[in-house]
């Protein structure tokens, strides 16, 4: 696949991504567990078909010590026994938050309540922000057809 536009060579894209990266940094620096953050990024990227982000976040998670079995089972988290209750709640919120257009009313009260059982208010807000940010990255990469497979862990600092 060839990219439709050189996102990494564009002054406009650099300015735009600087702001998205700042939002992402706020989440990274939050109390939301890093393992949960990577699982959320991977699940949203699977749903959105973003190969670029899947390449990046599976490699970053593995580099940080994430178990390969868990990485392979993110798409089937409901059937997998390797995720904690908190991670399962975050993945469920990620799915509904990513598929807003597919369900009238967006995220259900039941899904929100399950997440609230495991995360405090700041962590919930960080989770919502993370779902929003990864969806923005996914859309940018899918629309511009950014190729996947060449990412090196730590490549973007």
What is the pLDDT confidence band of residue 101, given thresholds at 50, 70 and 90? confident
pTM of the model: 0.95
For the segment 70-89, the average pLDDT, to the nearest whole number, is 98
Domain ranges of the chain: 32-143
CA distance 151 to 8: 13
Instruction: Inform me whether the pLDDT recorded for 157 exceeds 80.
Output: no
What is the pLDDT confidence band of residue 52, given thresholds at 50, 70 and 90? very high
Q: By the 8 A CB rule, do 120 and 30 touch?
A: no
CA distance 84 to 93: 14
Helix, strand and coil percent figures for the chain, each rounded to 5: 70, 0, 30
CATH code for the domain defined by 32-143: 1.20.1290.10
Average pLDDT of the chain is 96
Instruction: Inform me whether the pLDDT recorded for 156 exceeds 90.
Output: no
Q: CA nearest 123: which of 18, 42, 34?
A: 34
Read off the pLDDT of residues 29-49 as tens digits, 9 standing for 90 and up: 999 999 999 999 999 999 999
């Amino acid at each position: 696949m060839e990219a439709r536009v050189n996102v990494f060579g564009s002054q406009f894209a650099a300015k735009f991504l600087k702001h998205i990266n700042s939002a992402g940094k706020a989440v990274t620096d939050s109390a939301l567990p890093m393992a949960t953050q990577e699982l959320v990024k991977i699940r949203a990227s699977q749903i959105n078909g973003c190969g670029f982000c899947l390449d990046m976040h599976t490699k970053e998670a593995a580099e940080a010590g994430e178990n390969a079995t868990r990485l392979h089972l993110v798409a089937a988290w409901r059937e997998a026994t390797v995720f904690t209750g908190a991670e399962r709640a975050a993945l469920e919120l990620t799915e509904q938050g990513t598929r807003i257009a597919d369900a009238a009313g967006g995220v259900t009260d039941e899904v929100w309540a399950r997440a609230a059982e495991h995360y405090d208010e700041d962590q919930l807000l960080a989770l919502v922000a993370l779902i929003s940010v990864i969806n923005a990255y996914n859309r940018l990469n899918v629309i511009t057809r950014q190729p996947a497979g060449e990412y090196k862990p730590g490549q973007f600092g």
